[in-house]
């Protein structure tokens, strides 16, 4: 258990540093390009990791934890959202997918507005 926590933590640190680097590199963009790019890139990487893990029994759990939960998790949580949504669609849980996707967007925006409003 401790080894898994350390693998996720090390990957998360690397992902967070990469996310910060993107924010610095694209700080002058008028569009939130850094966030947009990390969300898309992170979603792509977690898709690669997920597919490779399914087809390769030799792909160690350690690498999945480090890459998917760690690096992608530190780089962006949108990647986890994308993967969970894809799994729901693959399982043909369409109602749950729409509830999750729309609920995440609307409740996330509402929670951000509420937090902002409380301390504004």
Which residue ranges are tagged as binding site for Na(+)?
A: 73, 76
Exposed, middle or buried, 65 (CB in 10 Å: 0-12/13-18/19+)? buried
Question: Can you say which residues are annotated as belonging to the binding site?
Answer: 73, 76
For residues 47 and 95, what is the distance between their CA atoms, to the nearest angstrom?
Answer: 22
Tokens 């301390």 appear where?
A: 119
């Amino acid at each position: 258990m401790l080894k898994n926590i350390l693998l996720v933590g090390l990957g998360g640190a690397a992902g967070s540093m990469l996310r910060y680097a993107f924010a610095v590199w694209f700080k002058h963009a008028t569009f939130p390009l850094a966030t947009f790019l990390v969300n898309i890139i992170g979603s792509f990487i977690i898709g690669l990791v997920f597919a490779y893990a399914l087809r390769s029994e030799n792909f160690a759990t350690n690498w999945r934890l480090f890459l998917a939960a760690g690096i992608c998790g530190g780089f962006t949580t949108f990647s986890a959202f994308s993967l969970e949504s894809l799994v729901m669609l693959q399982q043909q849980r369409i109602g749950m997918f729409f509830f999750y996707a729309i609920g995440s967007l609307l409740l996330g925006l509402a929670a951000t507005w509420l937090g902002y409003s409380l301390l504004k």
